[in-house]
Amino acid sequence: MITKKLTITKDSHVTLTTFIHEVSEEMGVKKRPGMLILPGGGYEFCSDREAEPIAIAYYNKGFNCYVLRYSVKEKATFPRPLKDAEAAMTYITKHADQDQTNRSKIATIGFSAGGHLAGALATMSDLRPQALLLGYPALIKSEEQGWPFPTITPDKNTPPSFLFHTYTDNVVPIETSLYFIHECRKQGIPVEFHLFNKGPHGLSLGTELVANNNADYINAHYAAWFELSVEWLLDVLDVKW
Q: How far is CA 175 from CA 25, 84, 191, 221, 226, in A?
A: 47, 27, 15, 21, 22
CA gap 39, 71 in Å, rounded: 12
The answer, yes or no, to whether residue 206 has pLDDT greater than 90, is: yes
Domain definitions of the chain by residue range: 2-236
**Distance between CA atoms of residues 144 and 186, nearest Å:** 28
Are the beta carbons of 137 and 112 closer than 8 angstroms?
Answer: yes
State the Cα–Cα distance between residues 169 and 237, nearest whole angstrom: 30
Buried b (16+ CB within 10 A) or exposed e, 22-44: eeeeeeeeebbbbbbbbbbbbbe
Instruction: For residue 190, say if its preceding peptide bond is cis, omega within 30 degrees of 0.
Output: no
Work out the average pLDDT over 32-38: 98
CATH (one of 3.40.50.1820, 3.30.420.40, 3.60.21.10, 3.40.50.450) for 2-236: 3.40.50.1820
Q: How far apart are CA 182 and CA 12, in angstroms?
A: 38
- Return the pLDDT at 238: 96
pLDDT above 70 coverage of the chain, percent: 100
> What mean pLDDT comes out for the span 87-101?
97
pLDDT at 142: 87
Position 120 scores a pLDDT of 98
- Rounded Cα–Cα distance for residues 96 and 109 (Å): 18
- Asked if pLDDT for residue 28 goes beyond 80, the answer is no
pLDDT band of residue 42 (cuts 50, 70, 90) is: very high
Rounded average pLDDT over 57-85: 97
What pLDDT score does 147 carry?
85
Q: pLDDT digit string (tens) for 107-131?
A: 999 999 999 999 999 999 999 999 9
pLDDT reading at 144 higher than 80: no
Task: Give the lowest-confidence range in 43-47, 70-74, 147-151, 161-165.
Answer: 147-151
